[in-house]
C-alpha cells in the first residue's frame, strides 16, 4: 500500500542519504516536496520524494528501497504511482548520481529517456571543497586569529587525496601509452619516492629532536 508521509518527514532524511549523500539537499527537498512510501505491515519499506518544478514539470528527487526488499519492483510501483497522481504534468525529470547501465535500464524500462550529463560535476564540487576552506582560512586567520591556522584547511585533505589519485591514474596512462613504460614500473617508482620522502621527513624529525637537521 502506498501512502504519503505528511508528518515528521525530516526523520527520514538520514535514511534517504543512502541514495543521496548530501544531507542538506535531502532536508531541503523533504521540506519543499512530497514524500510517499510503500508500506508493508504498517512499516515503510520503499520511498520516493517528488517536487513540482513548475506547472508542467515534476522532478523525482529521491527513490530508495530498503536493501532487503529490493528486487520486488517497489521503486517502479512508486514511480508509476506519482506519475498517475500528477497526470497533468507533461515532463517528469529524474536526476541521479548513479549513471550505471543497470540504473539507466531501470528508468528506460519505465519510459524515461536519457537527457544529458553534467560533465565534471563532482570535480567542480571537489574544487570548491578545496577553495572554500582556503578562502575562509585566509579571512579568519587575518581577521580574528591574526596568524595562519592549519586546522581551518584540514577538510581539504580528502578532495586533495582524490585529486592525487586521479592525477596518478592519468599520469600512469600517459606514461604507458606515450612513452611505452609499463605501469608496474611507474608504481614501483612512486612507491620508492614515497618511501624516500618518508625517510627524509622522519630523519629530520628525529634530528630536530636532538637539536640538528639533516636537510
Q: What is the pLDDT of residue 134?
A: 79
Q: What is the pLDDT of residue 61?
A: 87
Contact predicate 73/79, CB 8 Å: no
Q: Residue 176 pLDDT more than 80?
A: no
Q: What is the pLDDT of residue 181?
A: 60
d(Cα 97, Cα 94) in Å, to the nearest integer?
Answer: 10
Cα torsion 111, 117, 123, 126: sign: negative
Helix (H, G, I), strand (E, B) or coil at 109: helix
24-40 tens-digit pLDDT:
888 988 998 999 999 99
Q: Which of 66, 68, 64 is nearest to 79 (CA)?
A: 64
C-alpha cell at 47: 520511498
Amino acid at each position: 500500500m502506498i501512502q504519503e508521509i505528511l508528518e515528521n518527514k525530516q526523520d527520514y532524511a538520514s535514511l534517504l542519504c543512502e541514495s543521496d549523500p548530501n544531507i542538506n539537499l535531502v532536508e531541503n527537498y523533504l521540506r519543499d516536496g512530497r514524500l510517499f512510501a510503500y508500506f508493508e505491515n504498517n512499516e515503510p519499506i520503499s520511498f520516493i520524494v517528488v517536487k513540482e518544478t513548475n506547472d508542467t514539470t515534476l522532478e523525482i528527487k529521491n527513490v530508495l528501497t530498503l536493501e532487503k526488499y529490493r528486487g520486488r519492483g517497489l521503486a517502479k510501483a512508486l514511480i508509476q504511482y506519482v506519475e498517475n497522481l500528477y497526470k497533468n504534468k507533461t515532463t517528469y525529470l529524474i536526476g541521479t548520481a548513479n549513471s550505471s547501465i543497470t540504473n539507466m535500464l531501470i528508468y528506460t524500462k519505465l519510459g524515461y529517456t536519457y537527457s544529458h550529463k553534467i560533465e565534471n560535476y563532482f570535480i567542480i564540487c571537489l574544487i570548491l571543497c578545496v577553495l572554500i576552506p582556503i578562502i575562509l582560512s585566509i579571512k579568519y586567520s587575518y581577521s580574528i586569529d591574526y596568524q595562519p591556522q592549519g586546522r581551518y584547511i584540514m577538510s581539504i585533505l580528502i578532495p586533495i587525496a582524490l585529486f592525487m589519485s586521479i592525477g596518478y591514474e592519468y599520469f600512469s596512462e600517459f606514461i604507458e601509452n606515450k612513452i611505452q613504460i609499463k605501469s608496474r614500473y611507474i608504481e614501483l617508482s612512486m612507491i620508492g619516492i614515497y618511501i624516500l620522502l618518508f625517510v627524509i621527513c622522519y630523519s629530520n624529525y628525529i634530528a630536530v629532536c636532538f637539536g640538528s637537521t639533516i636537510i
